[in-house]
Structure 1
Amino acid sequence: MASTEPPEAGPPLHRLESVFRVYDVQREGDQLIYYGEPLVPQDRLMKTIWPLFRESGYEATLTTRMGEYVIVAEPVDLGPDGVPWKNVLLFVATVLSTLFAGASWYHVDPIANPLSALQQAWPFTLAVMGVLGTHELGHYVMSRYHGVDATLPYFIPMPTLIGTMGAVIRMKGQMPDREALFDIGVAGPLAGLVATVVVTAIGLTLEPVTASQQLLNGPNVVQVKFGYPPLLKGIAALMGERLTYGDPTKSINPVVIGGWVGMFVTFLNLIPVGQLDGGHIVRAILGERQESIAALVPAVLFGLAAYVFYVLDVSNATVLWVIWGFLSMFFAYVGPATPIDDDELDPRRKLLGVVTFVLGLLCFTPTPIQIIS
């Protein structure tokens, strides 16, 4: 039965009447449903009603049902509800996968010597999980600060050279304004970089790993060569530590690889397109003009791939940048989050955004990794 009486928990209807004429109000479980007619453009409508519903503890969205405009209001539920078992299980699985991957950097067979692998590889796992977790927790903490619903980090275990494909959080709430979009986007890279610098500095002070000559001469040995970005080289130079050794049996401590992972992840996340951190930051700074930059990103990455292949003659890194060229096309198509209040960002945040991108460039190297059989 149609009703124009507001649900007890919702905002008073008279506060909506200037932008949305309500002719039916219903409750479906925890949801409040307002059928009506928009009186202003959608961006102005949402900018007006969204804070009204948030005051009442609801997240409001505008949609259509059977050709009718509807405001759907759901209770705001920030933070995990009960034990986040999926997050916990993925975290444990990623710890195990990074221990397995880390054992190879310490030249230990994790299958033949699982206890030895656990004892030696845990610093590598702590380094990798630390930089990835700090990055995602930066996003999560700032999401909570701005009242945006977000999940805890999901770590992604994967049988790669580092044992993981990273970590992500999922944003479930709408972005209230450009300030929130910027703060949430920039918090991950900056927090992750702090952890990365600390991990790198610690790793550089640790003893290098030594492999036996017999192991190096094995028929199935694969040589992995890392490309060190300017930030990592700079930290090593300031500390007076070495990244390479004249002795082929010696290599950097695997904890430094954890720092390298942090820098590589920071650069990739700051690519200015779509739902990546860089896309959110540029969207907050430039507004809808962000689309012009996003359109150029795939071409830049494909051009980088061509440079690496034809000039540097490194096929492994070429494949990497081609993959990211296609991924950036998808991210550009999806686009970044659109804030409810799309007013201009303040100059202080704009400056911080520029500084963040400069730091991201210091994490870039055209050939992050080479695999030599």
Structure 2
Amino acid sequence: MDPISVKFYFFDSDNPNIDDAFDYIRRDLIDHGFIPMVIRDGENIIQVTKRPKQRYFGNIVNLILLVATILSTMYVGSQYSINFVPKGAYYELRLWGYGFLFFSAPLLLILGIHESAHFLVARKHHVKASLPFFIPFPVGIGTFGAFISLRDPLPNRKAMAEIGAAGPIAGFITALPLLFVADYFQNVVKPIPPAYIPFKVTFPLIYHLFGLNTNFTGPIFPMVFAVWVGMFATAMNLIPAGQLDGSHIVRGVLGSRANILSYVFLAFLFAIGFFYTGWWIIAIFVIFTGLVHPPALNDYSKISGLDIALGVVSLIMFILTFTIIPIKPA
């Protein structure tokens, strides 16, 4: 006989440290092909099921995608550099060099550190995860971003909140000094007339908070745009809906009560989509990836003051980086 699942009953009085005990057996069971889950529905149960067999890509795929994304962001960056690179010898080479130095490098640094932070904190909680997958796309910003694949279920609310918050916080901290470097180049590197201005961006609150240059009438310097994209990616990831980082954070901090917030923010995305249609695309993506965040294996575990602080910090970052109309015609 091969049962689908096995249930073990327990009493809280016999298990005062049930959260630690469960995490200990979780690590052992998952390594042996089983997934345990705490269920409190009138009775206290640990239900153990067989883990479905899965196949994963080798790291060579991560490397190929990274190289392709470097090339695609270099190309896009070179197009944004046309207004700043004078024609002459090795013009195309200098364009690509500008594209790498002032667009591809800062953008992929922010995205890479964001995903690496997810990876490292997942490993800290003994949750297996892939290396970052970068997605090349040779128009727009040269990439659809990056992601890591969590190969284990999230064990508890604490891990859920900390893994979710690690990426946006690390990416935000990385982007902060680059804001000032990019602002310096925007002020000292003059565009070559006649300047071509394909679009304008709306700068979020953090730019005004630091008194950065947001009122220039000429074309945007490639590095300014790259760092702006990094900040916009932070805001987008912090939306508390679907499988976005913000959803991990609020589900970890608030538990099942976070489901209400997911519906509220879905309605918010559809509402602001009348001002910028890109939000409708995000809303549809959220729906297709699952609006309600699945629970942790131990969804009844306690969270610490640090985890609540991470939630507050994430909210502040969202306020500082979010704009309703991020891009508009020139």
When normalised by structure 1's length, the TM-score is: 0.73
2:225 is the counterpart of 1:257 = yes
State the AA in 2 paired with 1:349: D
2:50 is the counterpart of 1:72 = yes
Q: Any runs of at least 4 consecutive aligned residues in structure 1 with deviations exceeding 6 A, and if so which?
A: 46-50
2:319 to 346, 354, 361: 361
**Which whole-Å CA distance do the structure 1 matches of 2:108 and 2:272 have between them?**
29
Give the corresponding residue for 1:345.
303
2:213 is the counterpart of 1:242 = yes
8 Å CA contact retained: 1:264, 1:364? yes
How far residue 351 of structure 1 moved from its aligned partner, in angstroms, is: 2.4
Deviations 1:205-224 (A, max 9, x none): 2255544434x4xxxx5621
State the AA in 2 paired with 1:366: I
- Is the radius of gyration larger for structure 1 or structure 2? 1
2:234 to 251, 262, 266: 266
Give the corresponding residue for 1:302.
270
How far residue 297 of structure 1 moved from its aligned partner, in angstroms, is: 1.7
Aligned residues: CA RMSD: 3.2
2:118 is the counterpart of 1:118 = no
How far residue 301 of structure 1 moved from its aligned partner, in angstroms, is: 1.1
**Which whole-Å CA distance do the structure 2 matches of 1:346 and 1:49 have between them?**
17
- The secondary structure found in structure 1 opposite 2:153 is coil
Give the corresponding residue for 2:41.
none
Unaligned stretches of 5+ in structure 2?
Answer: 38-46
8 Å CA contact retained: 1:204, 1:252? no
2:26 is the counterpart of 1:58 = no
8 Å CA contact retained: 1:178, 1:341? yes
- The secondary structure found in structure 2 opposite 1:283 is helix
8 Å CA contact retained: 2:26, 2:35? no
- The secondary structure found in structure 1 opposite 2:277 is helix
**Which whole-Å CA distance do the structure 2 matches of 1:179 and 1:152 have between them?**
22
- The secondary structure found in structure 1 opposite 2:329 is strand
1:291–1:196: structure 2 CA closer, same or farther, 3 Å change rule?
Answer: same
8 Å CA contact retained: 1:224, 1:371? yes
State the AA in 2 paired with 1:230: L
**Which whole-Å CA distance do the structure 2 matches of 1:347 and 1:207 have between them?**
41
How far residue 227 of structure 1 moved from its aligned partner, in angstroms, is: 0.6
State the AA in 2 paired with 1:102: G
2:250 to 274, 282, 287: 282
How far residue 36 of structure 1 moved from its aligned partner, in angstroms, is: 6.5
Give the corresponding residue for 1:326.
284
8 Å CA contact retained: 1:295, 1:332? no
Unaligned stretches of 5+ in structure 1?
Answer: 1-22, 25-33, 64-68, 309-317
**Which whole-Å CA distance do the structure 1 matches of 2:234 and 2:295 have between them?**
23
**Which whole-Å CA distance do the structure 2 matches of 1:273 and 1:262 have between them?**
20
Give the corresponding residue for 1:31.
none
**Which whole-Å CA distance do the structure 2 matches of 1:296 and 1:305 have between them?**
14
8 Å CA contact retained: 2:172, 2:231? yes
**Which whole-Å CA distance do the structure 1 matches of 2:152 and 2:257 have between them?**
23
1:104 to 72, 79, 84: 79
Q: Once the two structures are aligned, what percentage of the paired residues are identical?
A: 30
How far residue 328 of structure 1 moved from its aligned partner, in angstroms, is: 2.7
**Which whole-Å CA distance do the structure 2 matches of 1:223 and 1:119 have between them?**
21
When normalised by structure 2's length, the TM-score is: 0.82
2:116 is the counterpart of 1:137 = yes
How far residue 352 of structure 1 moved from its aligned partner, in angstroms, is: 2.1
Q: How does 1:139-218 map to 2 (within 5 A)?
A: 139-208=118-187, 209-214=189-194, 216=195
**Which whole-Å CA distance do the structure 2 matches of 1:145 and 1:303 have between them?**
39
**Which whole-Å CA distance do the structure 2 matches of 1:234 and 1:187 have between them?**
23
8 Å CA contact retained: 2:243, 2:293? yes
Give the corresponding residue for 1:38.
7
